[in-house]
Structure 1
């Protein structure tokens, strides 16, 4: 197991680089917070669906600019080995092929929660297409939170990627209603896992349906990307004007 070695100044600087990357590659990133992340007490358990390489970067950006907690995130050992600087952002590893290593990582996660640090998790354990159901949560989640205070907030965050009418894709981010761990800890481990998965699935399905049917009035821009080729074409066409970017 590889432990985290969080460097706050690096994390803040890296979040600015993430913003640059996302502005370059996305037409727009939208967000709706049912409860503003900056209002949440620490520590929290944050559960996020996982369908894209961008998920980890978006999570880092949200933590550094919205939640602003001293946070850690469990990451596959291959990823931490390939990109060791992720340790400076709070990543610690898990080798799912080694039961002993999985046990060490679960205990490390519990230790970090007990120390007051927020725990970000992608409970699917791997990238899966955003339309696949069930989400197929990994079994370790209830073990990581079993000793945490029942008053610990549980935050469900869903990411949904789509192409709409523009050249580049768009990302919709929704932070759902904040729950409390005690509402899950009263269940046995299998029931806890099912309850966590059901709540994130319901939120993701609603987000997908609302995006597909254009019911997105509740969202506001987190940021807009660069002007696209189609917008430049409009600017060069007499009598046409492209929207400000």
Structure 2
């Protein structure tokens, strides 16, 4: 995990300006209970985000992540990182997923990270799609909490994008068990929607003050023009700031967590 944290962090830094968590969306997990992180699924980067967030927010909690079995064969090293294969669009795959998830969540320290839609879905798609197995999770892990996680990838003022995230209010699995499956599905969907909508408003605001930087990326143009900017600043005796808009990072590193 430590090695791939470095590798994923470097990969992230090459493509994004920063990974930012909304101030209201810092995770609030109860101790002594397994946790199921239910994220939306806006893009390819989601799996990388899971690994980065595990190391920065939950260093003492082992994490497990389901992934399409065929896709996992392209990245076999991920099996050593807690990723397990799930056969898509089959009853056998659904049963196997629930069996593996149940085993993983028997330890109160463990976390299950998954994309709730079960497919790629735009962050603005409504109603928020949920894979059928999501509704069954409280049944196989009644002691767990289910935590919505909203993810967005946007471009503000820099060449590279911004990765934004926010955790929602945990849902108690036993309370969800008191509801029938249809009602339970809508309760989970409503929690996902609320978290995603609130993060969307922060993304639309383009206000960096609403976020804390979890991981720095790279700013500025880079390349030949970036090198010229640096040389020009040195020749003038000025501090070099490669950012296009210096307001995107106002004192945000304070309290930064590193894995």
Instruction: Evaluate the alpha carbon distance shift between residue 160 and residue 73 of structure 1 in structure 2; reply closer, same or farther with a 3 A threshold.
Output: same
Shift of 1:221: 1.1
Shift of 1:52: 0.8
> 2:121 and 2:28 mapped to 1: Cα distance?
29
1:144 match: 137
1:90 match: 82
1:57 match: 48
Shift of 1:51: 0.9
> 1:127 and 1:37 mapped to 2: Cα distance?
24
> Deviations along 1:87-113, whole A, 9 cap, x unmatched?
111111211232122212212211221
Gaps of 5+ in 1: 1-10
Shift of 1:161: 0.9
Matches of residues 1-245 of structure 1 in structure 2 within 5 Å? 11-32=1-22, 34=24, 36-37=26-27, 40-41=30-31, 42-68=33-59, 69-116=61-108, 117-150=110-143, 152-229=144-221, 232=226, 234-235=229-230, 242-243=240-241
Given that 2:38 and 2:116 are in contact with CA atoms closer than 8 Å, whether structure 1 keeps it comes out as yes
> Deviations along 1:104-150, whole A, 9 cap, x unmatched?
22122112212332111111001122222222101111223313234
Between 221-230 and 189-198, the greater mean CA deviation after superposition: 221-230
> 1:130 and 1:38 mapped to 2: Cα distance?
23
RMSD between aligned alpha carbons? 2.4
> Deviations along 1:136-174, whole A, 9 cap, x unmatched?
101111223313234x23222111111111111111111
The size of the alignment, in residue pairs, is 234
TM-score by length of 2: 0.81
Between 127-136 and 117-126, the greater mean CA deviation after superposition: 127-136
Shift of 1:234: 4.6
Instruction: Evaluate the alpha carbon distance shift between residue 209 and residue 37 of structure 1 in structure 2; reply closer, same or farther with a 3 A threshold.
Output: closer
> Deviations along 1:58-113, whole A, 9 cap, x unmatched?
11111122112111111111121221111111111211232122212212211221
> 1:147 and 1:23 mapped to 2: Cα distance?
38
Instruction: Evaluate the alpha carbon distance shift between residue 40 and residue 79 of structure 1 in structure 2; reply closer, same or farther with a 3 A threshold.
Output: farther
> Deviations along 1:1-52, whole A, 9 cap, x unmatched?
xxxxxxxxxx221111111111111012111364754864241111111111
Gaps of 5+ in 2: 244-259
1:7 match: none
> 1:38 and 1:174 mapped to 2: Cα distance?
11
Given that 2:26 and 2:166 are in contact with CA atoms closer than 8 Å, whether structure 1 keeps it comes out as no
> 2:137 and 2:22 mapped to 1: Cα distance?
28
